[in-house]
With several copies, the nearest count.
Chain A
Amino acid sequence: METYVLLGADGRLSDEPAARDVTPELCRGLYRDMVLARRLDSEAYSLQRQGELGLWLQCLGQEAAQVGSIRAIRDDDPVFPSYRDHAAALCRGIGPEALLAQWRGVRQSGWDPAEHRFGVYTLVLAAQLLHAVGYAMGVQRDGTDEVVLAYFGDGSSSEGEANEAFNWAATVNAPVVFFCQNNQWAISTPTSRQFGAPLHRRAAGFGLATELVDGNDVLAVHAATRRAAETVRRGGGPALVEATTYRMAGHSTSDDPTRYRTEAELDHWRARDPIDRLRTLLDREGWADEAFHADLDAEADALGAETRRVCRAMPDPDPSTMFDHVLPGGSPVLAAQRDGYAAYLASFEDAS
């Protein structure tokens, strides 16, 4: 299968039929999404380095894969993300406070999935893929036409649960698009030690419709995901999109990628930066004027400032919240533990 490309590494549009659907508005919108995501990502990275966040996993380099895919589905299509999908989350209106809370350690998740139709991050690899399939079975039973989009990484594809999800979706014809951001690495493990055949081929073997797309080409990602989603929406059965991209940063702020990959490899991918590539097109075609860029810079600066502000402003949670929401039906044992701990804490205050 050939990798689907619309916008070459040189920033030129191919003569693919889908290129005709590319409009200046679309490009400006996708460009804005990517620029804002990169700003949030780099601010969060800095905040982690300053000790304001416990950990951060950058989406640097993967903006096209995320923005292109989420902008290709409807706003009411539910999304089941992995944990590095900040660009996609931003597109769904999830703000910096919600995005940073988990990594600051003040909450285990940041937003209400129902409000944004965007699930909470899943740190246990591949678990969300089965949830997506189940949710899609619900869509089938409700007789509505949402398409469920589920993100995962190349490394996660080796988990049994990922493969159960592919198989299950194919068996019940669930309306789900599995979207793999194949960023070449799973922490220090390259894809060559993760699978023996390309993932898109495996997916086809399970009976999924497949797309292999240049994940740093936001237009190709957009077109391929749209194609996949529309097939699914028409009842054509589940699909898998494999987007070839690259994790430009370390796995997380705790990682030291110099231990396992070369500067030459990074250079190769730097030349394929998804934002630069679209910028080249915008510039050549004259689709974005100076005012657009000035506005966008200002917007990014504002997002950066807001990110820093809301991050530092997040207070530590009250200890008693630990006992909330464990069992919706409540439990006397838990209530006793909560009250006991409150009394214990109060005893210090009494003492002092």
Chain B
Amino acid sequence: MTTTLSRALTTALHHALETDPKVLVMGQDVGGLGGVFRVTDGLQKDFGPDRVIDTPIAEAGIVGTAIGLAQRGYRPVCEIQFDGFVYPAFNQIVSQLAKMHARTGGAITLPVVIRIPVSGGIGAVEHHSESNEAYFAHTAGLRVVAAATPQDAHWLLRQAIESDDPVIFFEPKCRYWSKGEVADGPDLPMHAARTVRPGGDLTLLTWGSMVETCLAAAAAAEEEGHDLEVVDLRSLAPIDVEALVGAVGRTGRAVVVHEAPVTGGLGGEVAASLAERCFDRLEAPVRRVGGFDVPYPAARLESHYRPDLDRVLDAVDRTLAY
């Protein structure tokens, strides 16, 4: 079935609500409005306001009550309206959601999913274009995934809801309206990286909104005779390190691409792991392409802030030329 990434999420939520009476959807404006990105469109009509819950504007409250609901046996899927509005919930996520299973010696499991529309590229005002995956990926006790395609949006979300792990689920908002195929079943487990495009000269490692950019860069590089591999990490915590090591072990060259500021970003983790694990195979340093160490700029500058085809190719060229 061909559908948009946004619609692929909606059908995943619909399926989960339909098959498991314990699944709940909750967040600001997820009901009658269907969410500001319409991902929950129609769900309240079909499942009622007790299962598709319009919450007060209180992000700590959303995650905190979801934790309580999960302790009662429910499986809440929370929507945070925009990436920049997850911080009021940070305490509940980092100290409660992430740690509860471990601190109770496994007595409490919290199958809570937190959906976060993430990253830029839609010309939004401030606080609406943050790429904050590194905060969560560094937090032990969370599973963090990033969907880049309708197929992953649908199946990763279903897997996330079915999983007993607390999952931070990132949706690249600039890709909500992109279309793609959704297969009848998942092709990969939640934790696996995917080789989106095979290639022998260099591996581009990326996720979320940048997967498409990297594919475009690979296509452009092909015209210049370079055969780039593109790997979508999908799972940002835990990272499928073995798959990355395997890929870069073959090509010997790698560039990591993400939207978040490079410094302290998850690209550092990827680059450091590869530099350690592929030390003897690397023919050039692992370069990172990402946002600058500045607050996400005003919309008219975002094309300069976000990595684009040219900036990716620039890093690719340097790496190939090394």
Contacts and interface: CB of A to CB of B under 8 A. Distances in A.
Q: Do A and B bind each other?
A: yes
Interface of A: 54-55, 80, 102-109, 112-114, 119-120, 123-125, 127, 129-142, 155-156, 158-161, 164-165, 167-168, 171, 186-189, 193-195, 254, 256, 259-260, 316-317, 319, 321-329, 331-334, 337, 341, 344, 348
Interface in B301-315: 301, 304-305, 310-311, 314
B259 to A, nearest CB: 14
Contact of B64 (A155, A164, A317): A164
Contact of A138 (B69, B88, B238): B69
Contact of B96 (A131, A137, A317): A131
B54 interface: yes
Contacts of A112: 104, 107
Contact of B65 (A102, A114, A133, A158): A133
Of the four ranges (under 10, 10 to 19, 20 to 34, 35 or more), the interface on chain B belongs to: 35 or more
Given A127-B91, A333-B293, A327 B105 contact: no
A337 B293 contact: yes
A132 B164 CA distance: 20
A337 B305 CA distance: 11
A135 B67 CA distance: 8
B71 A135 contact: yes
Given A168-B61, A332-B238, 15 more contacts: A54-B125, A107-B105, A108-B297, A119-B71, A127-B64, A127-B91, A133-B68, A137-B72, A138-B71, A171-B56, A186-B28, A187-B28, A256-B33, A259-B34, A322-B301
A295 to B, nearest CB: 34
B105 A167 contact: no
Contacts, number: 254
Contacts of B33: 187-188, 256, 259-260
Given A127-B95, A259-B33, A326 B141 contact: yes
Nearest to B166: A327
Given A138-B74, A159-B58, A188 B298 contact: no
Interface centre among A171, A254, A317, A325 (most CB of B within 10 A): A325
Interface string B6-39: 0000000000000000000000110111101000
A319 B32 CA distance: 40
Contacts of B163: 328-329
B263 interface: yes
A131 B100 CA distance: 12
Contacts of A137: 65, 68-69, 72
B126 interface: yes
B304 A135 contact: no
A133 B64 contact: yes
B101 A326 contact: yes
10 closest residue pairs by CB, A with B? A134-B68, A130-B64, A138-B72, A105-B299, A134-B65, A188-B33, A325-B106, A158-B56, A108-B103, A135-B68
